[in-house]
Amino acid sequence: MTKLEQLYEGKAKKVFKTDDENLYIVDYKDDATAFNGEKKGTIAGKGVINNIMSNHMFQLLEKQGVPTHFVEQLSERETVVKKVSIVPLEVIIRNISAGSFAKRYGVNEGIVFDQPTIEFSYKNDDLGDPLINDYHAMALKLATAEEIETIKKMAFKVNEVMKAYFDTLNVTLVDFKLEFGKTDDGTIILADEISPDTCRLWDKDTGEKLDKDRFRRDLGNVEEAYQEILRRLTGK
Ligand code: TMP
């Protein structure tokens, strides 16, 4: 596998072409942003942890029947993934009120929902990733009705698998964001990453936040929180 030219650099990852036209390499960075890039910083060692955690979660999900872009970890920060075109929707599942949900609807954080919720944001930095519904996404041709149905089913399945798994680690899965990709033959698979950048994870006993909210809200012990999640996942 040869790493060829960089295709894209995002806020947290770089993506490279390879000598196999069906495979890309992602390279996780320590850069952290919040509020659509307004707040910038570095979380030392984050790239390594997010790479390991994402791969761990993708392998667990594959075993439970969820197709993902994961192929093989190459190094601490690099992973081979299937080439996809990303569906420009951020898919957010919530089990408990927090973040933008609590703010938008004027409710406290920590309300446990009777059933999980799903929402979409249009992945567009210039517009600040606005909330979007199914019909708007179809009108903008971001995805077909069938693709949206597939994405919803997969996202709720991911939630069931992840919620049960984090429970065994004494962690509450509050909410998370997923991105899906389309392979050349049109198959929808789970892509991007699953990490403390993209999930809210609370210690089950103390409620301590073990995710990127520590950075977003200047709570301190940011690196320690990422390390603690890695320790619970891998024992290291
Ligand atoms: P929110 O409450 O700010 O809408 O965030 C919901 C979840 O999505 C939370 O787990 C953090 C994650 N998220 C991202 O992964 N990327 C983003 O750009 C935002 C705003 C949230």
CATH number of the domain enclosing 46? 3.30.200.20
Give pLDDT, residue 236. Answer: 87
The token pair that represents 111 in the structure block: 């309300």
> Would the CB of 177 count as within 6 Å of ligand 1?
yes
Mutate to test the pocket of ligand 1, among 91, 177, 199 (most ligand atoms within 8 A of CB): 177
Are residue 78 and residue 89 in the same domain, yes or no? no
CA dist 126 and 186 (Å) reads 27
Whether the Cβ atoms of residue 179 and residue 123 lie closer than 8 Å to each other: yes
Are residue 152 and residue 211 in the same domain, yes or no? yes
> Would the CB of 99 count as within 6 Å of ligand 1?
yes
Last-in-domain residue among 24, 57, 82: 82
Are residue 54 and residue 106 in the same domain, yes or no? no
Are residue 181 and residue 137 in the same domain, yes or no? yes
> Would the CB of 142 count as within 6 Å of ligand 1?
no
Look up the domain containing 113 and give its range.
85-234
Are residue 118 and residue 215 in the same domain, yes or no? yes
Are residue 64 and residue 114 in the same domain, yes or no? no
Report the relative pairing of strands 23-28 and 171-182 from DSSP bridges: unpaired
Residue 135: DSSP 8-state = H
CA dist 188 and 153 (Å) reads 11
Q: To 10 degrees, what angle do helices 46-63 and 145-168 make? A: 110
State the CATH number of the domain containing residue 137: 3.30.470.20
How many angstroms does the Cα of residue 224 sit away from the middle of ligand 1?
A: 20
Are residue 70 and residue 93 in the same domain, yes or no? no
How many angstroms does the Cα of residue 229 sit away from the middle of ligand 1?
A: 18
Are residue 130 and residue 65 in the same domain, yes or no? no
Are residue 114 and residue 57 in the same domain, yes or no? no
Over its length of 236 residues, how does the chain's per-residue pLDDT go in tens digits? 899 999 999 999 999 999 999 999 999 999 999 999 999 999 999 999 999 999 999 999 999 999 999 999 999 999 999 999 999 999 999 999 999 999 999 999 999 999 999 999 999 999 999 999 999 999 999 999 999 999 999 999 999 999 999 999 999 999 999 999 999 999 999 999 999 999 999 999 999 999 999 999 999 999 999 999 999 999 98
> Would the CB of 100 count as within 6 Å of ligand 1?
yes
For residue 101, give the ligand 1 atom closest to its CA: 2
Residue nearest to atom 15 of ligand 1 (CA): 198
- Model pTM score: 0.98
For residue 175, give the ligand 1 atom closest to its CA: 10
Last-in-domain residue among 65, 82, 99: 82
Are residue 40 and residue 90 in the same domain, yes or no? no
Are residue 24 and residue 124 in the same domain, yes or no? no
Last-in-domain residue among 32, 53, 82: 82
Are residue 172 and residue 229 in the same domain, yes or no? yes
Give pLDDT, residue 160. Answer: 98
For residue 198, give the ligand 1 atom closest to its CA: 15
**Number of domains the chain is built from:** 2
CA dist 62 and 55 (Å) reads 10
Burial state string for 139-155 with b = 16 or more CB within 10 A and e = fewer than 16: eeebbeeebbebbeebb
